[in-house]
């Protein structure tokens, strides 16, 4: 069952809703160094060498050393190119790896290499991903996690493959049936210091919670919030962790009033604000979406975000070209200005207006955007030292254009009249510019 949003605080904005956030796609699997030698050292897809390797693995299925070597070889070969991954899949490489996992369940080294092989074979290859699913890979991955719970490598690589399998609806359904949520939550708790476990584990849970309300409830009841906040706190510099854990926090907002209350009473707002300052566009996007959901559902989260430096971080998120981030940023900024907490001056001092006002002009066809930005400018304009900055950045043209376009919007008209009167009283130059811009007629 898919999940959707519901309106936030009444009286704030009729169109803003809290929405589930999909975590980013997994990066290239980091099982071995990815720098290739200058000369082609990997066998070509149709070469006799590759066939000999596969034949050796297949012919000595009960010899542990051969299977260890075989899984490690397939893991490394699959990193060479997408063509090699496809050839290895077509030649039965995935089935060989899964057979080795069944035969030598107790061997940590083999399970690690096998999970690594499945990771590289599945990366950006849907055919291979479906083959892993169809040949019982999900169950074997979870058995590997149970049997080698103390190995961060096994846990991280298995979560990575599950993260890829979670792109498929059948994959999500099957892994949840097999207890993947509980297993991943345990791995995240036991390996808080391992960046790969935290990134991939939160990535799986983020996708599950975005796609199913039932899975969202399971993760919430299993203290998914606690593991997500632990990941954010333990790995502030890692883009994947910050993106995936932020997405998970944002989704947990949708689990119900109890979850919202737990989030409001935790450090979630502070940690997600810090994630929004990350240089990674993916981390920024997921963090701003999480802030949007949190602020729409909780006034306490609004206040927490404001005092945690959200104004400063939002000034920076306007700079990327991603329109989705910009629109979410506008909503969060709009909600922040409904509280007296924090300092909106941080947004102005970091050149936030130089991005906000051009965005207002660019989205003039959106009533929601115009109402929100008009209200933001009115709030900022309360302070005399910022009123002149709004005028200098082109705010007069923006607000008057919105007033012309939306004469029936009370919010836009009230904000515009307020700013026009403030500019007119502030200085002779302001009064002249208001008059020249048609302010008298509008008011």
User: Per-residue pLDDT for 416 more than 90?
Assistant: yes
Q: What's residue 359's pLDDT?
A: 93
pLDDT-based confidence at residue 435 (cuts at 50, 70, 90):
confident
User: Per-residue pLDDT for 2 more than 80?
Assistant: no
The per-residue pLDDT for range 96-143, each reduced to its tens digit, is 999 999 999 999 999 999 999 999 999 999 999 999 999 999 999 999
The per-residue pLDDT for range 158-172, each reduced to its tens digit, is 999 999 999 999 999
41 versus 295: the higher-pLDDT residue is: 295
Q: What's residue 194's pLDDT?
A: 97
Long-range contacts, stretch 313-319, CB < 8 angstroms, 24+ apart: 313/273, 313/274, 313/276, 313/277, 314/276, 314/288, 314/347, 314/352, 315/346, 315/347, 315/350, 315/351, 315/352, 315/355, 316/277, 316/350, 317/276, 317/284, 317/288, 318/352, 318/355, 318/356, 318/359, 319/355
Question: In whole angstroms, what is the distance from residue 358 CA to residue 373 CA?
Answer: 11
Q: What's residue 443's pLDDT?
A: 61
| % of residues, the chain, pLDDT over 70 | 90
181 versus 76: the higher-pLDDT residue is: 181
The per-residue pLDDT for range 359-397, each reduced to its tens digit, is 999 999 999 999 999 999 999 999 888 999 999 999 999
The per-residue pLDDT for range 199-256, each reduced to its tens digit, is 999 999 999 999 999 999 999 999 999 999 999 999 999 999 999 999 999 999 999 9
Q: Tell me the average pLDDT of the chain.
A: 89
pLDDT-based confidence at residue 352 (cuts at 50, 70, 90):
very high
User: Per-residue pLDDT for 39 more than 50?
Assistant: no
């Amino acid at each position: 069952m898919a999940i959707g949003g519901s309106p936030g605080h009444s009286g704030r904005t009729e169109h803003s809703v809290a929405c589930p956030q999909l975590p980013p796609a997994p990066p290239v699997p980091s099982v071995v160094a990815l720098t290739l030698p200058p000369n082609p050292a990997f066998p070509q897809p149709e070469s006799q060498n590759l066939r000999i390797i596969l034949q050796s693995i297949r012919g000595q299925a009960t010899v542990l050393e051969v299977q260890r070597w075989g899984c490690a070889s397939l893991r490394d070969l699959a990193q060479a190119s997408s063509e090699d991954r496809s050839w290895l899949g077509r030649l039965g490489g995935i089935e060989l790896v899964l057979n080795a996992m069944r035969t030598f369940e107790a061997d940590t080294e083999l399970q690690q290499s096998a999970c690594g092989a499945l990771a590289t074979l599945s990366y950006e290859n849907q055919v291979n991903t479906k083959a892993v699913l169809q040949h019982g890979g999900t169950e074997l991955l979870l058995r590997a996690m149970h049997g080698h719970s103390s190995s961060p490598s096994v846990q991280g690589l298995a979560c990575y493959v599950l993260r890829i399998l979670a792109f498929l609806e059948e994959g999500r359904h099957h892994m949840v049936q097999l207890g993947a949520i509980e297993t991943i939550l345990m791995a995240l708790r036991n390996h808080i210091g391992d960046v790969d476990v935290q990134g991939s584990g939160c990535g799986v849970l983020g996708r599950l919670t975005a796609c199913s309300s039932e899975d969202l409830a399971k993760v919430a009841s299993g203290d998914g919030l606690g593991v997500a906040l632990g990941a954010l706190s333990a790995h502030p510099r890692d883009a994947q962790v910050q993106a995936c854990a932020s997405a998970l926090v944002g989704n947990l907002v949708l689990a119900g009033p109890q979850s919202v209350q737990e989030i409001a009473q935790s450090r979630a707002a502070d940690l997600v604000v810090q994630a929004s300052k990350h240089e990674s566009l993916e981390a920024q996007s997921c963090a701003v979406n999480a802030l949007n959901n949190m602020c729409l559902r909780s006034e306490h989260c609004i206040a927490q975000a404001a005092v945690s430096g959200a104004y400063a971080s939002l000034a920076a998120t306007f700079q990327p070209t991603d329109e989705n981030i910009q629109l979410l940023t506008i909503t969060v900024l709009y909600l922040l200005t409904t509280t007296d907490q924090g300092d909106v001056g941080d947004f102005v001092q970091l050149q936030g207006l130089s991005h906000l006002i051009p965005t207002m002009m660019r989205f003039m066809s959106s009533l929601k955007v115009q109402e929100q930005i008009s209200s933001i400018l009115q709030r900022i304009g309360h302070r005399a030292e910022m009123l002149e900055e709004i005028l200098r950045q082109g705010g007069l043209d923006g607000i008057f254009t919105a007033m012309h376009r939306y004469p029936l919007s009370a919010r836009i008209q009230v904000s515009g009249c307020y700013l026009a009167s403030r500019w007119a009283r502030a200085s002779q130059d302001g009064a002249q510019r208001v008059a020249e811009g048609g302010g008298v007629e509008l008011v």
